[in-house]
Amino acid sequence: MVEAASATPRLVILDDYFPNIFTGFRVAEYTALLDAFPGAVVASASADFHRDHAVFARLHPEQAARVVPWQNSSLEGVGLAYLNFLNNASAFLPSLEGAAVPFVFTLYPGGGLALDDQESDAKLRRVLASPMLRAIVVTQPVTMNVVRRLIGETGERSSPIEIAEITGGIANSIYFDATLDRTWFGAGKSTLDVAFVAHKYMPRGRNKGFDVFVEAIEGLVARCSDDQRGSLRVHVVGNFDQSDWQECAGMSEFTANVVFHDLVETFALVELMADFDVVVSPNVPFVLHPGNFDGFPTGCCLEGSLRGAVMMATDPLDLGTGLYEHEQTFIEIEPKAESVIEALLKLVAQPARIKEIGLAGRNVSRRVFDPRVQVGGRVEVLRRQLIEVAALPCEVP
CA distance 40 to 60: 15
Confidence class for position 40, pLDDT limits 50, 70, 90: very high
3-class secondary-structure state, position 253: helix
Give residues with Cβ within 8 angstroms of 248, minimum separation 6.
204, 210, 211, 214, 215
Q: Residue 321 burial by CB count (10 A; 0-12/13-18/19+): exposed, middle or buried?
A: exposed
Q: Domain 10-170+371-391: which topology?
A: Rossmann fold (3.40.50)
pLDDT, tens digit, for every residue of 346-397? 999 999 999 999 999 999 999 999 999 999 999 999 999 999 888 765 443 3
Residue 259 backbone dihedrals phi, psi, to 5 degrees = -95, 120
pLDDT, tens digit, for every residue of 158-168? 678 999 999 98
Helix, strand, coil shares, percent, the chain, to 5: 45, 20, 35
Number of H helices, E strands in the chain: 14, 15
| Domain locations in the chain as residue ranges | 10-170+371-391, 174-368
Q: From 108, 3, 88, 17, select the one nearest 56 (Cα to Cα).
A: 17
Residue, of 226 and 27, whose pLDDT is higher:
27
Given a contact cutoff of 8 angstroms between Cβ atoms, the answer to whether 360 and 116 are in contact is: no
Cα dihedral 265, 267, 270, 276 sign:
negative
- How much is the pLDDT for 395? 42
* Beta strand 133-138 pairing with 10-15: unpaired
pLDDT, tens digit, for every residue of 203-214? 999 999 999 999
For domain 174-368, give the CATH number: 3.40.50.2000
pLDDT, tens digit, for every residue of 320-335? 888 999 999 999 999 9
Q: From 295, 197, 266, 263, select the one nearest 27 (Cα to Cα).
A: 266
The Cβ of residue 6 has, within 10 Å, a number of other Cβ atoms equal to: 6
For the whole model, what pTM was predicted?
A: 0.87
Given a contact cutoff of 8 angstroms between Cβ atoms, the answer to whether 362 and 195 are in contact is: no
Q: Which helix (H) or strand (E) holds 234?
A: strand 232-237
Given a contact cutoff of 8 angstroms between Cβ atoms, the answer to whether 248 and 217 are in contact is: no
DSSP 105: E
Given a contact cutoff of 8 angstroms between Cβ atoms, the answer to whether 379 and 1 are in contact is: yes
The Cβ of residue 148 has, within 10 Å, a number of other Cβ atoms equal to: 12
Give residues with Cβ within 8 angstroms of 237, minimum separation 6.
195, 196, 197, 198, 261, 262, 263, 264, 269, 272, 300
CA distance 289 to 106: 21
Tell me the C-alpha to C-alpha distance, in Å, between residue 2 and each of 68, 185, 287, 376. Answer: 22, 44, 42, 11
pLDDT, tens digit, for every residue of 305-316? 999 999 999 999
pLDDT exceeds cutoff 90 at 289: no
Distance of CA 73 to the CA centre of its chain: 30
- How much is the pLDDT for 228? 85
Tell me the C-alpha to C-alpha distance, in Å, between residue 89 and each of 86, 94, 143, 169, 288. Answer: 5, 9, 16, 18, 21
- How much is the pLDDT for 8? 47
CA distance 166 to 170: 10
